[in-house]
Each structure stands twice: as C-alpha cells, then as structure tokens.
C-alpha cells in the first residue's frame, strides 16, 4: 500500500531531487536482502520463529507511524524506509519457516501457494486503496499511512493471537547451534538454491518486461499499472492450484514448467505482434511463471532442509534470489541503454532457455521427496 504511492509521496509531495530519490530507492531495495540472512539464522538459533517474525512485522508497522511524523528531511525519510525494509527482511524467513513447520511435508506446495495467493491479494488491493484515499482527500498521505498502520496491526494481532508458535522441536530441547556448514553440504538444498538464483537472474524484472511489451506495442507507458494488475491476477488465481499440483506431481516438475512459461513469454514478445489477445496470454503465462516457481521453490527448500535450519535455508534462498535479481536488473539496464530493447528480448529468450535446461538437469539430480516424511 505504501510502496505504491511512495514515488508520488517522495517526488510530487516532498519534492525530493532525483539523486535523493535514487538513494532512498536503492536502500529500499537493498536493505531487505542483508537483513533476511541474519534473521533466518537468529530465528533458527533461538528456535523463535514466531517472535522474530513478529518483531519484523512490528518494526515495519512502527515505520508507518514514523512516516507520519517525519517531515520532508530526506535523510529521516530514508532512515525510516530502510527500517521498514529491514522489518520486511527480518520477518520473511521465519514466517516462511512457520508456514512450513505448520504444514504436513506433503502439503508444502499448497501451503506456500495459498500464502503467495493471499500476499498477491494485498499487492492488488493495497494500491487501489491508497489511490482511492489520495483521490478522495488530496495530499492526505497521513490517512494512507494510518490505514496502512492499522492493517499492519491487524496482521500482527493475527500472528500473535492466532498462530501457534512452531519451533520444529527436536526432542524438545533447545538447540543453540545452527549447523550452517551442514546446510552448505546439503546437496539438494544447494542445488535448489542455485537453480532459484539462476532463474531470478535470467528472468528480467517485471518493470522491464512491461517496458518490452510497450516497446513492442508502441503504446505509451500509461498501461503499466494495468499490466501489473494482469500478472498479479493470474498469479493470484494460479498460485494455490499450481502449489497443489506440485505436491501431487512433483515440485521440480512444476518449477520447470514455470520456467517454460517464461520462455514462452519471451518467445511471444520476440516473435509475435503483441495484440490484445497475445498480451493477455503473455500476462497469463507471466503470472503462471510466478505461481509455479515462487511458492514452489520455498516448498522445495523446506522439503530439503531439516527443521532446525529451516529459517536459515529459506533466508539463504531469499537472499540469493534477491541478489541475483538485483544484478540482473542492473545488467539489463545497461544492455537496454547500450543496445536497446531488441537485444534485451533476444538475450532474455536465450538466457531463459539456458536457465530452463540447467534447472531441469540440476533438479533431476535432487530428490523431490520431502526428507522428513514420517517424522511428524
């Protein structure tokens, strides 16, 4: 909700300069990745998934109020937004660990699918709500921050009051060491994480895909929010069913199908005239890519890691993918301004095919079956 109006708030309302905006945006994107790893390890070490996740949610919630009381000093705004992302970084891995520990191993795909679907509901509704507030009361960003804070509080209340604190207890004792070297020796885990990192490297970011579609269609950028909505709707609808399918037919298989969807997307952009129907199909496939990969890869990692290093494993997965995504965006940006969008499409198509082949090979060497079947 807040991220959707953040550029308007920083640029139009507070009138920060381009350089200041750039620094804030960089921090906003970067802080999360670093925080994730640390929080995953800490959550495993303390066996306190719920506590650490709650802390992350609380920190982000407080930051909404922080935005409310900060004026236009851009350094203060930058600090608060960094803290907000820090909160996001802290909560993600222990939250995913909680999801995985509360689920039977054979249902992990479904569970993460449902989570991703609900998450996407927020992604769709949040901006609508934020812009509705802004439209009905010009410049009342405070109202947006307060509503966002209230929704965050409801989330925290649900977490604190309704969620069982799963600790993945091993014989009920407190394990104070986290076997990180063991995690790195875990071949399936390393293979899955490598595949995930590779995939988020060869798949260009949403923003670039939409720019490619516009370049192809020769239309203005005015439709970009609609393109986002198209992908999100497809993702939202497909996340749970594809997660379930992954539990049935094998998660690796569904993950590879997801990558194939992305190959089709680039092939479509590269070869076809992107008419309205093609555009719809491209967005459907783009959403299917997310539905078949994002939650499924979390399920794969959960299935391949023992419960005492679950949060660390999920955190490593998140950090690896967000770093390669960042690197990919920077490289695509350079290619785009150096050789133009045509080269970007061609390269993305070939990179995604290579990614597909490599993942299919690497995942075929790992055991698809959850390692803890029967221990619960």
Q: Considering only residues 36 through 95, tell me which ones interact with other proteins, judged by CB under 8 A.
A: 67-72, 74
Q: Which residue shows structure tokens 């109020």?
A: 65
Figure out which of the listed residues 118, 121, 158, 357 binds other proteins, where binding follows CB under 8 A. 158
Q: Which residue shows structure tokens 């409801």?
A: 154
The nearest distance, CB 128 to other proteins, in angstroms, is 5
Site membership for other proteins, residue 22 (CB under 8 A): yes
Number of residues that bind other proteins (CB under 8 A): 75
Site membership for other proteins, residue 11 (CB under 8 A): yes
Figure out which of the listed residues 51, 153, 267, 371 binds other proteins, where binding follows CB under 8 A. 153
DSSP secondary structure string for all residues of 83-145: HHHHHHHHHHHHHHHHHHHTS-GGGHHHHHHHHHHHHHHHHHHHHHHHHHHHHHSTT-HHHHH
DSSP state of 172: T
Q: State the Cα torsion 202-206-207-212 to the nearest 10°.
A: 70
Figure out which of the listed residues 37, 38, 146, 358 binds other proteins, where binding follows CB under 8 A. 146
Three-state SS at 371: coil
Site membership for other proteins, residue 201 (CB under 8 A): no
The CA-based angle 116-371-365, given to 5 degrees, is 90
The nearest distance, CB 330 to other proteins, in angstroms, is 7
**Of 31-39, 85-93, 155-163, 177-185: span binding other proteins (CB under 8 A):** 155-163
DSSP state of 11: I
Figure out which of the listed residues 46, 102, 131, 237 binds other proteins, where binding follows CB under 8 A. 131
Q: Report phi then psi at 168, rounded to 5.
A: 55, 40
Of the two residues 38 and 146, which places its CB atom closer to other proteins in the complex?
146
Figure out which of the listed residues 207, 272, 347, 358 binds other proteins, where binding follows CB under 8 A. 207
The nearest distance, CB 78 to other proteins, in angstroms, is 10
What's the CA gap between 319 and 330, in Å, rounded?
Answer: 17
Site membership for other proteins, residue 218 (CB under 8 A): no
Chain residues 274-303 in contact with other proteins, contact rule CB under 8 A: none
Figure out which of the listed residues 13, 217, 244, 369 binds other proteins, where binding follows CB under 8 A. 13
Q: State the Cα torsion 32-33-38-43 to the nearest 10°.
A: 70
Site membership for other proteins, residue 208 (CB under 8 A): yes
**Of 102-110, 146-154, 184-192, 253-261: span binding other proteins (CB under 8 A):** 146-154
Site membership for other proteins, residue 154 (CB under 8 A): yes
Q: Which residue shows structure tokens 């070490």?
A: 45
Closest CA to 300 of 224, 158, 195: 195
The nearest distance, CB 183 to other proteins, in angstroms, is 30
Q: Cβ(362)–Cβ(194) under 8 Å?
A: yes
Chain residues 300-359 in contact with other proteins, contact rule CB under 8 A: 326, 329-330, 333, 336-338, 340
């Amino acid at each position: 909700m807040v991220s959707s109006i953040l550029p308007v708030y920083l640029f139009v309302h507070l009138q920060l300069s381009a350089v200041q905006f750039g620094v804030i945006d960089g921090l906003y994107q970067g802080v999360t990745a670093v925080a994730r790893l640390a929080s995953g390890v800490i959550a495993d070490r303390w066996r306190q998934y719920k506590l650490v996740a709650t802390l992350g949610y609380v920190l982000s919630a407080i930051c909404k109020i922080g935005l409310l009381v900060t004026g236009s000093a851009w350094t203060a705004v930058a600090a608060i937004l960094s803290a907000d992302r820090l909160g996001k970084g802290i909560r993600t891995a222990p939250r995913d660990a909680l999801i995985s520990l509360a689920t039977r191993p054979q249902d992990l795909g479904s569970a993460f699918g449902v989570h991703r679907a609900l998450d996407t509901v927020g992604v769709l509704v949040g901006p609508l709500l934020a812009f509705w507030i802004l439209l009905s009361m010009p410049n009342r960003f405070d109202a947006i921050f307060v509503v966002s804070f209230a929704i965050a509080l409801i989330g925290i209340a649900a977490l604190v009051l309704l969620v069982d604190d799963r600790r993945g207890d091993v014989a009920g004792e407190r394990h104070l060491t986290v076997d990180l070297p063991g995690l790195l020796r875990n071949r399936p885990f390393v293979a899955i994480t490598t595949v995930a990192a590779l995939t988020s490297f060869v798949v260009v970011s949403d923003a670039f895909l939409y720019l490619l579609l516009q370049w192809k269609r020769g239309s203005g950028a005015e439709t970009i929010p609609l393109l986002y909505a198209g992908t999100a709707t497809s993702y939202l609808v497909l996340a749970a069913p594809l997660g379930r399918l992954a539990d049935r037919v094998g998660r690796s298989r569904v993950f590879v199908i997801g990558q194939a969807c992305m190959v089709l997307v680039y092939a479509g952009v590269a070869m076809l005239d992107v008419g309205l129907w093609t555009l719809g199909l491209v967005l459907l496939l783009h959403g299917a890519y997310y539905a078949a990969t994002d939650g499924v890869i979390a399920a794969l990692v959960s299935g391949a890691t023992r419960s005492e290093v679950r949060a660390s494993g999920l955190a490593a997965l998140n950090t690896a993918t967000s770093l390669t995504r960042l690197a990919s965006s920077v490289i695509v940006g350079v290619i785009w301004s150096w050789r133009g969008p045509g080269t970007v499409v061609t390269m993305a198509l070939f990179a995604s095919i290579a990614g597909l082949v490599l993942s299919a090979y690497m995942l075929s060497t790992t055991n698809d079956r959850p390692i803890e079947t029967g221990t619960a």
